[in-house]
């Protein structure tokens, strides 16, 4: 095991793949299937070189190398963070014991399930974003899209490696199935709801990378704590790549909000659609939608599965080791407001162990709040009164205790008729979506940008905004 990566092998890796010929052969058998999938389900736009980063080591500094790469020639590989000497299990009933280098038989099925669910989201987002390259607002954005796409492809590799290396024939079958399910497919959809929604325009892409990739960050954060060390180390490196995806989302929404504010000032009206901008209320509706489908990814507020995973040591809490408690959660409680059919809320006290999904969701929500703060600062700096907000946690939910209730963005439980009337104010309507889509025209000239978004303040890897991030010939 080393921090540097072997690019001599057919499959780049830092797991000494060539020492295990059976595993190497099995993964080399999966590789052409991955390439077929990429060809069919990956980016629809053909280019002749994209300025991409490729991992060259997993160490702390300078792990990335930047160059123009023909996208299908990207070197997808298997990169695990460095092992930590004498790492110990940090929580649950095995707390204090050495971490596992192999899968304990009793946890095999659960660990495999966790890896498959995580693995399923990675190719799903590539599928969801397949057509976006055709309408990129600038070469800079196009490059970022492809960067996100190739890294999600690599995250699939990360999970497939674990399945092949540690889960035998069943693992290999699951690795095949990851290429068979497709986002939005009626017959074999992706496992989680948010990954079957279409990412139809670039505002949706920025929202997805802000809200949904951020869910990914929190899920990976819990798996990074895992007692199964190869999973922990894989997730640790994935988190480094994931940070850029969220940067694309955060700054993407920043730039849309900045541009809308400019147009509002310039034309002295909130009605900026006719001036090629995205009105603030539509941006808010996109926030409402993407935030709430992402909240659904955290599952039910109470979960015996999550409790069992924790107790077994498979999945920890966010920043487990920094928490100041017994790391076994046998006596702690957590408060929760539960909706009632009569329109009231009841405050319950739950066991912290049963409410681990709620704990993780809480961390996620406060992180999302930081985006709202940024975008409101842009409003304030432009001397505009409009303020963005996250809707109530019960709004537009399809998973957990709020599902089946109609809850408004400010947290009132309402009847069906009120909900139907309010819906068009709260969630993007088909007209809103069609309008945003009507703004989406490709801008592939160096240094140029679409009307609805401001240029970034910095380019990639110290290159200027007008750098030729993508070659077309």
As measured in angstroms, the least distance from the Cβ of 125 to Fe ion is 7
As measured in angstroms, the least distance from the Cβ of 38 to Fe ion is 15
Which of 122, 225 has the CB closer to Fe ion?
Answer: 122
Which of 245, 327 has the CB closer to Fe ion?
Answer: 245
As measured in angstroms, the least distance from the Cβ of 192 to Fe ion is 13
Which of 201, 213 has the CB closer to Fe ion?
Answer: 213
As measured in angstroms, the least distance from the Cβ of 97 to Fe ion is 30
Calculate Rg over the CA atoms of the chain: 23
As measured in angstroms, the least distance from the Cβ of 122 to Fe ion is 5
Which of 122, 236 has the CB closer to Fe ion?
Answer: 122
As measured in angstroms, the least distance from the Cβ of 245 to Fe ion is 4
Residues belonging to the chain: 473
Q: Please report, as ranges, the residues that interact with Fe ion according to CB under 5 A.
A: 122, 152, 155, 213, 242, 245
Which of 164, 245 has the CB closer to Fe ion?
Answer: 245
As measured in angstroms, the least distance from the Cβ of 260 to Fe ion is 26
Which of 122, 127 has the CB closer to Fe ion?
Answer: 122
Which of 245, 315 has the CB closer to Fe ion?
Answer: 245
């Amino acid at each position: 095991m080393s921090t540097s990566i072997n690019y001599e092998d057919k499959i780049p890796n830092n797991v000494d793949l060539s020492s295990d010929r059976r595993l190497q052969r099995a993964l080399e058998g999966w590789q052409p299937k991955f390439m077929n999938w990429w060809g069919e389900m990956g980016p629809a736009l053909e280019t002749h070189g994209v300025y991409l980063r490729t991992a060259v080591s997993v160490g702390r500094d300078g792990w990335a190398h930047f160059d123009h790469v023909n996208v299908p020639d990207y070197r997808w590989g298997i990169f695990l963070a460095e092992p930590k000497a004498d790492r110990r299990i940090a929580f649950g009933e095995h707390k204090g014991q050495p971490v596992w280098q192999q899968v304990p038989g009793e946890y095999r099925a659960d660990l495999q399930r966790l890896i498959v669910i995580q693995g399923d989201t990675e190719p799903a987002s590539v599928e969801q974003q397949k057509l976006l390259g055709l309408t990129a607002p600038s070469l800079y954005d196009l490059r970022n899209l492809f960067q996100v796409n190739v890294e999600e492809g690599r995250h699939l590799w990360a999970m497939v490696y674990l399945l092949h290396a540690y889960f035998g024939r069943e693992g290999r079958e699951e690795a095949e199935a990851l290429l068979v399910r497709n986002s939005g497919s009626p017959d074999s959809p992706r496992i989680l709801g948010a990954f079957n929604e279409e990412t139809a325009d670039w505002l949706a892409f920025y929202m997805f990378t802000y809200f949904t990739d951020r869910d990914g960050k929190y899920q990976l954060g819990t798996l990074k704590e895992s007692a199964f060390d190869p999973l922990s180390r894989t997730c640790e490196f994935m988190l480094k790549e994931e940070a850029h995806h969220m940067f694309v989302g955060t700054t993407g929404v920043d730039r849309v909000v900045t541009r809308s504010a400019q147009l509002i000032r310039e034309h002295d009206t909130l009605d900026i659609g006719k001036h090629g901008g995205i009105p603030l209320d539509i941006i808010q509706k996109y926030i409402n939608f993407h935030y709430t489908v992402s909240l659904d990814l955290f599952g039910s507020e109470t979960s015996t599965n999550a409790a069992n995973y924790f107790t077994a040591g498979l999945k920890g809490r966010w920043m487990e080791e920094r928490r100041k408690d017994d790391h076994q959660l046998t006596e702690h409680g957590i408060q929760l407001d539960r909706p009632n059919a009569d329109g009231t809320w009841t405050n319950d006290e739950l066991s912290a162990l049963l409410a681990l999904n709620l704990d993780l969701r809480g961390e996620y929500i406060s992180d999302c709040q930081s985006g709202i703060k940024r975008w409101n600062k842009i409003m304030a700096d432009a001397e505009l009164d409009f303020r963005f907000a996250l809707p109530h946690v019960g709004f537009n939910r399809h998973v957990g205790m709020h599902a089946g209730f109609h809850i408004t963005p400010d947290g009132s439980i309402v009847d069906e008729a009120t909900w139907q009337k309010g819906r068009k104010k709260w969630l993007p309507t088909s007209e809103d979506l069609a309008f945003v889509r009507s703004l989406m025209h490709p801008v592939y000239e160096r240094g140029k940008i679409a009307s609805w978004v401001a240029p970034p303040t910095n380019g990639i890897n110290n290159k200027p905004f007008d750098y030729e991030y993508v070659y077309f010939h």
